[in-house]
Amino acid sequence: MKNLLLTGFGPFHTHPTNPTGEIVELLDDTHIGHWKIHGRILPVVFEEVFPELEKAIEETKPEAVIMTGLAWGRDVISLERVAINCLDSIRKDNKGNEVHDQKIDPDGENAYFSTLPIREMKLTLDQLEIPCEISNSAGTYVCNQIMYLCLKHFAKAHIDLPAGFIHLPPDHGLRPESRWEIKDLSHAVSEVIKVLK
Question: Of 22, 38, 80, 150, which is the active-site residue?
Answer: 80
Alpha helix (H) ranges present in 63-164? 118-127, 142-156
Query: Sorting pLDDT into bands at 50, 70 and 90, what band is 154?
Result: very high
Q: On the CB side of 96, how many CA atoms lie within 13 Å of its CA? A: 0
- Residue-wise pLDDT for 63-93, tens only, equals 999 999 999 999 999 999 999 999 999 899 9
pTM confidence score: 0.97
**Looking at residue 14, what is its pLDDT?**
87
- Residue-wise pLDDT for 131-147, tens only, equals 999 999 999 999 999 99
**Would you say 195 and 121 are in contact if contact means Cβ atoms under 8 Å apart?**
yes
- Nearest Cα neighbor of 148 from 112, 121, 193 is 112
34 assigned to active site: no
Query: Could you tell me which residues are beta bridge partners of residue 170?
Result: none
- Residue-wise pLDDT for 39-59, tens only, equals 999 999 999 999 999 999 999
Question: Of 167, 172, 181, 187, which is the active-site residue?
Answer: 167
Question: Of 143, 150, 158, 191, which is the active-site residue?
Answer: 143
**Looking at residue 59, what is its pLDDT?**
98
15 assigned to active site: no
Q: Which residue has the higher pLDDT, 13 or 56?
A: 56
Structural domains in the chain, CATH included, are 2-195 (3.40.630.20)
**Looking at residue 45, what is its pLDDT?**
97
Q: How far apart are CA 188 and CA 193, in angstroms?
A: 9
143 assigned to active site: yes
